[in-house]
Structure 1
């Protein structure tokens, strides 16, 4: 019987409850701590020139903060001087705290505001009651990127005005300066347009809402009417509130796709003219705006009212996920394609967006849209939000267009942030805190000149599975704080270990304030390492890199863990302990030894980078992936291509069966294959087919199948083939496209 090697060792070093370095997020560009601290028990005298309007505005905010720790006092020896300094960058600031008091200079009102946020964090009120003690420090700071954004979708779920304000408060606290407000969707129109009252009467409401995940079949609905919208007065209130905090609100009015809610109210805007309902489930819908003169009149009227409400230079026009089926069948669309000399329906989309751009440009505004606006040719002055990876942003930057990076891999906060089985329902994918933090928005493939077009990055909150403000907070924080350091501190950020230390008091502060952030710092993660011809081992760690980790195998006793261990068949449970008490969530991983574990594997088509693209060995490591999620460390995802693998054994092995596991999620363009084939490597180097099987249509999310091989014989290798499902049929999400193929553990016995 194999022995399990577990070494008893000293516990990992425990992080202090509060960071030793100042818990400032995002990290300043240049910080020097002094020896000593400023005691404001006797108060402080505020010094601001009445002629300095920016400083006067920020001083009013400073007074509200000071009232909590040390009331302003004209007779105090300590002085708090606030002034603008045109020599500094507009969003930059210089902050000094010393025996004489506090000096805050900023290149503009924004710079002063950001300096004040840093000062408040330097004071660390989360230690308990507000304290009049501030450590001496000299800080010189400015942002790495001009665009530092967060998005919020209110089309799927609507949130109260007060929550929108608290969301803006959080963005401001961490020096974000753009709020992308996604206002229209297939499932609801959320902004009052006075010229078109049916948008409020019909488009703002859906008759019911999907229950559970889109992939759950058959679909179930709650039967409850849902909806609402923001009045123009409420919009003005929110825009003004954001402006006071130096945040620009960018509205998004989706076009030409994601328009079913509007078409439900005004069927003449679509290509069929037939009545439709506001969508009740998530996904992409074929009812899109038809490029008729009536549609352009409608959109120009809508945008005219939007422009009057939002002073933002940018108006976001969407441009993403626009099916072309109805355009292909429309006589009007085909006539426009012919008359305008367009190549195809993608060219028609470019024509559509270019017309809207000309209108917005005539009103002194610029368009920004998702990277699909590149298809068919980019509108002349457009800025691109690159969400389908970075390729669209790279292409746009090379063409001389400005870009905001927001790739799903790093910036979609509707993805799962933990692999724990009890993690709240999310759309899919996996985006842990460290992956957000490790992002850098400027691709290395760009020249220095091209890189100047990368304005910054944005985190996206899509709310299909976020029906409440509490769920939004859980999904947004602290990933938003990590992104704030990405876009403010840039490549100069201190590193994830430092960030985690500084984050701990912020999590405590959010808890005290009733902000329901996700705290996964002590959650344990299990990882299978090795493979590709090397032995596999199990590794356990937590994000904090601290506490004592204990591992239990089966029903055995817990033992201290300090280095990766060689596994045998069984279930491994691990838990972090802090001060002898469990901290964070435990993890459990089941390992099964089989002939393929640790063997070398080559794939003809590499997995997508988002889904284990660099780790094909994950499917030969003895561990199965989640039954609910395809974005964990065990599934590999191949886009549009076949799963075609060569497996090389370290010695000849007699193989009798190969068991397969595929994910099936039609709502997300994922289909299990129709068949599998296995080939054995012969002594002459050729492969001969030794088994095949037609697979059934999956009844749920997981399709498992075992293939018994003909005439089992010793072989040094296998070829395993599972062809891509092929073209997605009509009626499914992604119809007309080749979708994804997700493969889990191959069990070879």
Structure 2
């Protein structure tokens, strides 16, 4: 037998094997974001090389995207002629939501029905999650796939579903930007907010101003460690990079194929130090300055003069052709007015235009740039500071400092996008574990992201129509690599995708966690370095009927909790947790989640100090900020000290710009010897220890006042000896006041953060 016959015979045998191979098992539906309607039927569709691909012309790009996906992950070759069964992309203009779709799976057909290519693409993404995870790679190459029969009718809750990425602080390669976009598209996110300019680096090629690439794209060195660490240290290494216009076009086209609009952000008038390093004549002083080497807010911003406006208009002229979307983001945040106050050009413009002050000048600056951008057929988005001095006529507001900016803008009938730091800043810590990688601060666990409601309750039904949606932000001061971007963004971006897509009536965090466990297997195949805190434990101190207990909670039902109270690490033979642990003395609890055979979580540790105020009554003259009140007022007298690094955990309470009076009722006359607490002093996050603490004892004549030292230490300890018998203790915290020039948050009132109040 010659070699040709042998090869033909082998190919024939291989074909027979493939033809008789059993289909992969149908995937149990665990779709994220959860569809509005999903009904499972009996039976399966068999996807194989006997399947025909049919599509309307308008859906060709989506259908071919689907075909490429099947081809790269399997040995299936979809047919163009009549076959045993079919997958059809069908246009139906009666679907009244441009992004809505219907997915029908029956034994003889799969139909994805939509009014637009966007809807068809989202139908494919739901179908994708019904296919084997192995298709995300090219390893297993199945020749037949069983798909569960079902019907889905689905449409998004919000029109704006976004993820942001700051490439100004740290620069990321084109391939990673594409991966970031891919991960967004799987979750039916439709907007990529690309933060391209910052004090620390200008990241987009502008051909008319070559120094933006040659000078502004690079800084001399970078801060080591956290901004709050004193003294500041630097690595001494030049750092930077930029995207050419051809690379930008490539990325935008890549995103467009995945139904994602890219919104560029070109910061103005603040966060401009990198640009001013290249063209110092655009500043108020004209003095040479380098791109910033540390994080924060800087006084050198664009000068409000004609040459600046000409520069920015020229930049916009090169930006607009690269980005076909509706919006240009112009920043507008954190622009100190220090230089403007002493600048002859700025003061002359204020006088000429009859403006009230420098805030009015910022409004003029933004409005003037908006008119220019509007004249080019685009609209602007700005951070909520663009409300100061008066909102530009057609601006969309991105509310980050809580929801107040969104409420104010919506009541003025301006479109708003919610991205408050409390729920949408994915650069914050997501776990209380001590081994978490360095982050800017705060605490934003997965469940809190999932709990977010983008429609502020202060809005009427009519005003709520101006809420376009929400966005997750990834600021990269402390995120130096693609792997860490993924760690910080995922799975929190997955939770947000369900917030902005799914009907709130269908949402359940318990159900979401179960679907997320399945989704993370897909991320494993895609080599995404997500953070996995699903099996971590949480705990709560409970006081009821004079009894004190500590409650442990697992994240899912398929975990066992085992714990110790003697300081040893929990093992498979440790005490099985069956209910709250009674606390009668100072106790350190160590606990972990276990399967039947091994530990499946990190060790949870909590130390409880039973001082004289634990479990007593407490009241406050002003409530803590809703964003920093996770543990409630009882957090200050529950015997548990907060994190040394993370002011956003549930043991710290935060107050915005106000004096606070705290009253503790011990319930009866009690002999006390000392009162101590501590204050966070993270000035990089606008947090300052109080200037002084006043202590009184209602019903007693004695009172004490202690001035706190001025220091850059991250934590400021406070203690007074107070030998007295009293029922009530009253602490008045005098807020630091206005943050001085040259500091982050300059001109704003400082935050006050207080930890456990220990009474002995």
TM-score range normalised by the length of the shorter chain: over 0.9
Structure 1 residues 419, 614: closer, same or farther in 2, change over 3 A?
Answer: closer
Q: Provide the aligned C-alpha RMSD in A.
A: 1.9
Residue in 2 aligned with 1:15? Answer: none
- Please report how far the alpha carbon of residue 59 of structure 1 lies from its aligned counterpart in structure 2 after TM superposition: 1.4
Structure 1 residues 560, 605: closer, same or farther in 2, change over 3 A?
Answer: same
How many residues matched?
Answer: 722
Residue in 1 aligned with 2:305? Answer: 292
The equivalences for 1:294-443 within 5 A come to 294-443=307-456
Residue in 1 aligned with 2:61? Answer: 57
| Equivalent residue for 1:447, pick from 454, 460, 463 | 460
- Please report how far the alpha carbon of residue 714 of structure 1 lies from its aligned counterpart in structure 2 after TM superposition: 2.1
Contact kept in structure 1, 2:27 and 2:147, CA below 8 Å: no
Residue in 1 aligned with 2:745? Answer: 734
Residue in 2 aligned with 1:7? Answer: none
- Please report how far the alpha carbon of residue 207 of structure 1 lies from its aligned counterpart in structure 2 after TM superposition: 0.1
| Equivalent residue for 2:501, pick from 488, 494, 499 | 488
Q: How far does the alpha carbon of each residue in 1:695-716 deviate from its partner, in whole angstroms, 9 at most, with x for none? A: 334463222232101xx33211
Establish whether residue 606 from structure 1 lines up as the match of residue 623 from structure 2: yes
Contact kept in structure 2, 1:692 and 1:707, CA below 8 Å: no
Establish whether residue 181 from structure 1 lines up as the match of residue 186 from structure 2: no
Residue in 2 aligned with 1:10? Answer: none
Structure 1 residues 330, 536: closer, same or farther in 2, change over 3 A?
Answer: farther
TM-score by length of 2: 0.92
- Please report how far the alpha carbon of residue 103 of structure 1 lies from its aligned counterpart in structure 2 after TM superposition: 1.1
- Please report how far the alpha carbon of residue 20 of structure 1 lies from its aligned counterpart in structure 2 after TM superposition: 9.2
Residue in 1 aligned with 2:588? Answer: 571
Residue in 1 aligned with 2:566? Answer: 554
TM-score by length of 1: 0.94
- Please report how far the alpha carbon of residue 322 of structure 1 lies from its aligned counterpart in structure 2 after TM superposition: 0.6
Residue in 1 aligned with 2:653? Answer: 636
Contact kept in structure 2, 1:258 and 1:285, CA below 8 Å: yes
Structure 1 residues 579, 287: closer, same or farther in 2, change over 3 A?
Answer: same
Q: How far does the alpha carbon of each residue in 1:658-688 deviate from its partner, in whole angstroms, 9 at most, with x for none? A: 0121111122211222333321122xxxx53
Residue in 2 aligned with 1:11? Answer: none
Residue in 1 aligned with 2:127? Answer: 119
Residue in 2 aligned with 1:12? Answer: none
CA distance in 1, matches of 2:547, 2:26: 38
Residue in 1 aligned with 2:539? Answer: 526
| Equivalent residue for 1:40, pick from 47, 50, 55 | 47
Contact kept in structure 1, 2:49 and 2:78, CA below 8 Å: no
Residue in 1 aligned with 2:171? Answer: 158
Residue in 2 aligned with 1:539? Answer: 551
Establish whether residue 725 from structure 1 lines up as the match of residue 736 from structure 2: yes
Structure 1 residues 164, 577: closer, same or farther in 2, change over 3 A?
Answer: same
CA distance in 2, matches of 1:400, 1:477: 34
Q: How far does the alpha carbon of each residue in 1:484-505 deviate from its partner, in whole angstroms, 9 at most, with x for none? A: 1111113233311111111111
Contact kept in structure 2, 1:625 and 1:745, CA below 8 Å: yes
- Please report how far the alpha carbon of residue 536 of structure 1 lies from its aligned counterpart in structure 2 after TM superposition: 4.0
CA distance in 2, matches of 1:352, 1:172: 35
Q: The residue matched to 1:688 in structure 2 has which SS?
A: coil
Contact kept in structure 2, 1:23 and 1:124, CA below 8 Å: no
**Which of 692-701 and 162-171 deviates more?**
692-701
Q: The residue matched to 1:202 in structure 2 has which SS?
A: helix
Q: The residue matched to 1:448 in structure 2 has which SS?
A: coil
Residue in 1 aligned with 2:609? Answer: 592
Contact kept in structure 1, 2:27 and 2:132, CA below 8 Å: no
Structure 1 unmatched runs, 5+ = 1-17
Contact kept in structure 1, 2:103 and 2:112, CA below 8 Å: yes
Q: How far does the alpha carbon of each residue in 1:389-421 deviate from its partner, in whole angstroms, 9 at most, with x for none? A: 111111111111111111111111111111111
Establish whether residue 714 from structure 1 lines up as the match of residue 725 from structure 2: yes
Q: How far does the alpha carbon of each residue in 1:203-259 deviate from its partner, in whole angstroms, 9 at most, with x for none? A: 000000001110000001000000010000000000111011111100000000001
Residue in 2 aligned with 1:666? Answer: 683
Residue in 1 aligned with 2:10? Answer: none
Q: Which has the higher contact order (CA 8 A, sep 6+)?
A: 1
CA distance in 2, matches of 1:78, 1:607: 61
CA distance in 1, matches of 2:667, 2:272: 56
Q: The residue matched to 2:626 in structure 1 has which SS?
A: coil
Q: The residue matched to 1:428 in structure 2 has which SS?
A: coil
Establish whether residue 515 from structure 1 lines up as the match of residue 525 from structure 2: no
Q: The residue matched to 2:603 in structure 1 has which SS?
A: strand
Residue in 1 aligned with 2:6? Answer: none
Residue in 2 aligned with 1:479? Answer: 492
Contact kept in structure 1, 2:567 and 2:589, CA below 8 Å: no
**Which of 108-117 and 564-573 deviates more?**
564-573
Residue in 1 aligned with 2:87? Answer: 80
CA distance in 1, matches of 2:503, 2:404: 21
Establish whether residue 91 from structure 1 lines up as the match of residue 99 from structure 2: yes
Residue in 2 aligned with 1:6? Answer: none
Q: How far does the alpha carbon of each residue in 1:327-357 deviate from its partner, in whole angstroms, 9 at most, with x for none? A: 1111221221122111111111000000001
The equivalences for 1:649-688 within 5 A come to 649-682=666-699, 688=701
